[in-house]
A and B are shown apart, each in its own frame.
Chain A
Amino acid sequence: MSVVRAYRLLLRLYPADYQAFFRAEMEQAFQRAVEARRKEGRRAVLRFLVAEFTGLCIGATAEWISKLTTDCSVRGRCLPDLRMMRPTAVSREVWFAGACLEASQSSQPAEVMEAQARVSMLIERMVRAIAHHDFPGARRYSDEERQARAELRRLQEKYNIDDSGMDRCS
């Protein structure tokens, strides 16, 4: 197992919000630091790795304690809950579609409900992809969501359903 892989595994000890925010950067910094230490010899690398892995274990423990003892409004200043944030490219209407779904779906045909659920699911996946810095994935979900949205509109027109419930939420 390469040291970078071991480092990646240890990063999983951190809270999810911390990982989403810092994981990519930490990996990059670690890789560059390893490259630099390799020039100094084997002993320097070994010493560096012991310090790094110990630091990660201590850091992860400290972060969990901090997460459990800090109010989320304070923690949110640096680690915003990305699941709660509306990405700039997503309209309010689409973003709040999931919340409006329950209120509006009770009397709708199964086909429409299914399309609405698909829109919500794609939004959720897109947000998760953004949280994990998977931007190509997020774009793919965004495209799929646009298509699902168009399909939903078509169905709403077919069943003559007024989607003003969603507009009210936007």
Chain B
Amino acid sequence: MILLSLAEKPRHGYSLLKDIESLSNGRVQLSTGTLYGALRRLLEDLWIERFEQDDTSREKQAYRLTPVGRKQLHAELERMKQLTRMATARLRTKEA
């Protein structure tokens, strides 16, 4: 979900928290500890990168997807699409 949130535009920590909450219709409410732990792992895997924002907002540090991260997001979406297709096909077979 972090990758998905960053796919749209670079975001800072609080913006990520809010966006993930709205993406999941309020079902996922990350704590800052969970969010930054995940960000640390994503930075370590080089899927995202941190940079300094030039604007005058309170938060200076923001995160954006790297090309590797974008590729991973596409791969994950493909995997989920395939899973959905398979699940739909199985349900149809059972109902028929």
Residues of A within 8 A of B (CB): 18, 21-22, 25-26, 28-30, 32-33, 51-52, 54-60, 62-63, 66, 70, 74-75, 77-79
Docked Cα-Cα span, A60 to B30, in Å, equals 15
> B2 to chain A: closest CB distance in Å?
13
Decide if B51 is an interface residue (CB 8 Å cutoff): no
Instruction: Pick from B14, B36, B39 the residue with the most CB of A within 10 Å.
Output: B36
CB pair A54 B44 closer than 8 Å:
no
Interface size class of B (residues with CB under 8 A): 20 to 34
- With a cutoff of 8 Å between Cβ atoms, the chain B residues found around residue A58 in the complex are 33-34
> A152 to chain B: closest CB distance in Å?
34
Docked Cα-Cα span, A54 to B37, in Å, equals 14
CB pair A26 B46 closer than 8 Å:
no
Docked Cα-Cα span, A98 to B34, in Å, equals 39
CB pair B14 A26 closer than 8 Å:
no
> B84 to chain A: closest CB distance in Å?
30
CB pair B44 A56 closer than 8 Å:
no
A-B residue pairs in contact (CB < 8 Å), sample of 24: A22-B36, A25-B13, A25-B61, A26-B33, A28-B14, A29-B12, A29-B13, A29-B14, A29-B32, A33-B14, A33-B17, A52-B31, A52-B32, A55-B31, A55-B33, A57-B33, A58-B34, A59-B31, A59-B36, A63-B37, A66-B40, A66-B41, A77-B46, A78-B44
